[in-house]
Amino acid sequence: MSGFILAIDQGTTSSRAILFDGDMKVVGSGQKEFTQHYPASGWVEHDPEEIWSSVVATAKAALKRAGRDASDVAAIGITNQRETVVIWDRATGRPIHNAIVWQDRRTAPLCQKLKKQGLEKKFTRKTGLLLDPYFSGTKIAWMLDKVKGARKRAENGELLAGTVDSFLIWRLTGGKVHATDATNASRTLVYNIEKNAWDDELLAILGIPGRMLPQVKDCADDYGITEKSLFGAEIKILGVAGDQHAATIGQACFEPGMMKSTYGTGCFALLNTGSDLVRSKNRLLTTIAYRLNGKTTYALEGSIFIAGAAVQWLRDGIKVIGKAEHSGVLAASADPTQEVYLVPAFVGLGAPHWDAQARGAIFGLTRNSGPAEFARAALESVAFQTRDLLDAMRRDWKGASAKTVLRVDGGMVASDWTMQRLADILDAPVDRPTILETTALGAAWLAGSKAGVWPETREFARSWALERRFRPDMDASVRSAKLAGWRHAVRRTLSTL
């Protein structure tokens, strides 16, 4: 059997497909951006049909650029933007509404209502999550309530719901398979992560018929076979994981205490806690890191909504840089005597604050503040937020020792200045791997290992290679002063003041 593996990486702003060979090297890729829809303040939607067409187009492009066809591919692995959710017609496969994106805040009133009813502890105990618009469950409830006739049709078994991976699997298999993996299920707000099953009580609270939801499988499992008409030959789908979980796998964080952080639109840090389901006392999320061969590995997760998006704001919002990659160079030229802080709560604050109503703010401006200080403040905000997560993880779990090394990936990690500042603020080493396509690599490994053409866990972990380690090089007093300034700025930004 051929060792080629096709990874479908369906992200927030674009869909990508990457073809890996038997040596886990990239031999072809395709990428296609799609439209972001903002129908109201705080609302974010995607057209599922546009997502679908972009996935098919990029998969074909990756094969073509590699000079291969579908018959050369042993398996497909899928990774996806996690909490974004779709409801579609079981008979036609057509969505009944645009996908509601993970960034969307429209269900904040419902979350607040449930909190006032004293239900957050129940949801957290069962799912490891908090009552926040970020997660999929309240989005499904909103569509059932707002789309005419949707609830009755769902109760009659006419509608299906799922995260983007489920929608893609349904389409790829011609409607033969309605499935998801344990990591995506764990982000829905209705999946019991201890029992590894949909939770009937939580479904009833949100008014979601359980028959809408997909079968939950291991991350490396049989997800059916693609329709021959799509790519010219049938291909097995053998791996699925949400994007942050796939990156954890791609970074080979298989041992308890290992930690990775992905710096894309947002920042998502996962700390492997092994079989230990750690219930956070510091408003972190407890989630399923991955499930392999029926064995569940758990993680603590910190979710930061704005990371690379802060750099996009510099470029597109206030136009102080022409290209994103210029931000590090500009930040390096900032006046060291000015302490400017950006709290990038453009869509609220994530962990450990979870304040949906907070909004962005800048502190410490003087007449001499300019583009360089804004750039430094934007990049430092990512480092400060990561430090907040690491501190919370250390308070929650003894395995998050002071010796924790952070493995990083995502678009921002290409900036040496940003990674050095991250190490300085964390007071911990930051490791940048040689392969930055860790999310796609993780999805590919799930499929490749299941197909028997890629190495098993230990050998795969040994293949992880370091490109550069950034070691902290900031005076402790300077770090302490910066952190105090940051925490003061956050307190002044929280909506609860």
**Nearest residue to 20 (alpha-carbon basis) of 467, 468, 463:** 463
- Please tell me whether 385 is known to bind a ligand: no
- Please tell me whether 290 is known to bind a ligand: no
- Please tell me whether 82 is known to bind a ligand: yes
Return the SS3 of 451: helix
- Please tell me whether 315 is known to bind a ligand: no
- Please tell me whether 411 is known to bind a ligand: yes
Phi-psi region of 415 (alpha: psi -120 to 50; beta: other; left: phi over 0): beta
The DSSP secondary-structure symbol of 315 reads I
295: its two tokens = 């064995």
| Three-class SS of 196-232 | CEECHHHHHHHCCCHHHCCEEECCECCCCECCHHHHC
- Please tell me whether 188 is known to bind a ligand: no
- Please tell me whether 13 is known to bind a ligand: yes
- Please tell me whether 380 is known to bind a ligand: no
- Please tell me whether 308 is known to bind a ligand: yes
Q: Which pairing describes strands 237-242 and 341-343: parallel, antiparallel, or unpaired?
A: unpaired
**Nearest residue to 185 (alpha-carbon basis) of 163, 156, 157:** 163
Give the helix/strand (H/E) hosting 262: strand 259-263
Contacts of 308 (CB under 8 A, 6+ apart): 263, 264, 265, 266, 324, 410, 411, 412
Rounded Cα–Cα distance for residues 489 and 134 (Å): 24
pLDDT 10s per residue in the chain (497 long)? 568 999 999 998 889 999 999 888 999 999 998 988 999 988 999 999 999 999 999 999 999 999 999 999 999 999 999 999 999 999 999 999 999 999 898 999 999 999 999 999 999 999 999 998 989 999 999 999 999 999 999 999 999 999 999 999 999 999 999 999 999 999 999 999 999 999 999 999 999 999 999 999 999 999 999 999 999 999 999 999 999 999 999 999 999 988 999 998 888 899 999 999 999 988 899 999 999 999 999 999 998 888 888 888 889 888 888 888 888 899 999 999 999 999 999 888 888 888 878 899 999 999 999 999 999 999 999 999 999 999 999 889 877 666 678 999 988 898 999 999 999 999 999 999 998 889 999 999 999 999 999 999 999 999 999 999 999 999 999 999 999 999 999 999 998 75
Contacts of 118 (CB under 8 A, 6+ apart): none
- Please tell me whether 84 is known to bind a ligand: no
- Please tell me whether 12 is known to bind a ligand: yes
Contact between 62 and 115 (Cβ < 8 Å): no
> Could you tell me the end-to-end alpha-carbon distance of the chain, in angstroms, rounded to an integer?
62
Contacts of 287 (CB under 8 A, 6+ apart): 128, 129, 183, 186, 187, 193, 245, 270, 298, 299, 300, 301
